[in-house]
Chain A
Amino acid sequence: MSGPSTYVPQNGFLRWFESRLPIIGLVHSSFIAFPNPRNLNYFWTFGGILAFMLIEQIVTGLVLAMHYTPESSMAFASVEHIMRDVNYGWLLRYLHANGATMFFIAVYIHIARNLYYGSYKAPREILFILGVIIFLLMMATAFMGYVLPWGQMSFWGAKVITSLFSAIPFVGDSITTWLWGGYSVGNATLNRFFALHYLMPFMILGVVVLHIWALHIPGSNNPVGVEVKSQKDTLPFHPYFTVKDAFSLVCFMVVFAYFVFYAPNYFGHSDNYIEANPLVTPAHIVPEWYFLPYYAMLRAVPSKLGGVCALFGSILLLAFLPWLDTSRVRSSNFRPVYRAFLFLFFATVIGLGYCGSQEPVGSVVVWSEILTAWYFIHLLIVLPLLGFFETPRKMPASITEAVLGPKGASAAMVGARAAAEPSVKG
Chain B
Amino acid sequence: MATATIAPGTPTRRDFLFIATGAVGAVGVGSVVWPFINQMNPDASTLALASTEVDISKLEVGQIMTVKWRGNPVFVRHRTPKEIQEAQNTPMSDLKDPQTDQSRVQKPEWLVLIGICTHLGCVPLGHDGAYDGWRCPCHGSVYDTSGRIRQGPAPTNMAVPTYSFLSDTKLKIG
Contact = CB atoms under 8 A, between A and B. Distances in A.
A284 B42 CA distance: 30
Interface stretch (B26-34, B53-61, B65-73, B101-109): B65-73
A163 interface: yes
A285 B123 CA distance: 12
A192 B43 CA distance: 13
Contacts of A304: 119-120, 153-155
B5 interface: no
Contact of A177 (B42, B115, B119): B42
B66 A182 contact: no
B140 interface: yes
B3 interface: no
Interface in B126-174: 136-140, 153-155
Interface string A322-350: 00000000000000000000000000000
Given A183-B71, A285-B138, A360-B139, A280 B153 contact: no
Interface in A139-180: 156, 159-160, 162-164, 166, 177-180
Interface in B16-42: 37, 40-42
A188 B70 contact: no
B122 interface: yes
A399 B137 CA distance: 55
A179 B122 contact: no
A178 B137 contact: no
Interface in B84-123: 115, 119-123
Given A178-B41, A188-B46, A279 B73 contact: yes
A361 interface: yes
Contact of B66 (A279, A285, A307): A279
Nearest to A283: B137
A298 to B, nearest CB: 8
Contact of A182 (B42, B73, B122, B140): B42
B68 A278 contact: yes
A181 interface: yes
Contacts of B155: 303-305
A299 interface: yes
Contacts of B70: 182-184
Contact of B72 (A184, A283, A307): A184
B116 to A, nearest CB: 8
Given A164-B120, A186-B71, A278-B71, A181 B43 contact: yes
A382 B9 CA distance: 51
B153 A299 contact: yes
Contact of B46 (A162, A163, A182, A299): A182
B120 A160 contact: yes
Contacts of B140: 360-361
Contact of B121 (A163, A279, A282): A163
Q: B interface, how many residues as a size bin?
A: 20 to 34
Contact of A285 (B46, B122, B154): B122
A2 interface: no
Contacts of B138: 156, 160, 281, 285
A154 to B, nearest CB: 14
A179 B41 CA distance: 7
Contacts of B120: 159-160, 163-164, 166, 304
Contacts of A164: 120
Given A178-B40, A184-B71, A278-B73, A284 B46 contact: no
B123 A279 contact: yes
B143 to A, nearest CB: 14
Contact of B122 (A160, A162, A166): A160
B66 to A, nearest CB: 6
A192 B122 contact: no
B161 to A, nearest CB: 11
A302 interface: yes
Given A182-B70, A184-B72, A303-B155, A282 B41 contact: no
B41 to A, nearest CB: 5
B122 to A, nearest CB: 4
A264 to B, nearest CB: 27
Interface in A274-309: 278-285, 299, 301-305, 307
Contacts of A188: 40, 42-43, 46
B63 to A, nearest CB: 16
A189 to B, nearest CB: 10
Name the residue in A183, A186, A299, A302 with the highest tally of chain B Cβ atoms < 10 Å from its Cβ: A183
A387 to B, nearest CB: 36
B40 A192 contact: yes
B71 A307 contact: no
Contact of A181 (B42, B68, B72, B73): B42
A76 to B, nearest CB: 17
Contacts of B123: 279-281
Contacts of B72: 183-184, 278
A156 B136 CA distance: 13
Given A182-B70, A279-B73, A360-B139, A159 B40 contact: no
The 5 closest A-B pairs by CB, nearest first: A184-B71, A163-B121, A183-B70, A163-B120, A281-B122
6 contacts: A156-B122, A162-B121, A278-B72, A279-B66, A282-B137, A305-B155
Given A183-B72, A279-B66, 14 more contacts: A160-B122, A160-B138, A162-B121, A163-B120, A178-B37, A178-B40, A179-B40, A181-B41, A186-B71, A279-B68, A285-B137, A302-B153, A360-B139, A360-B140
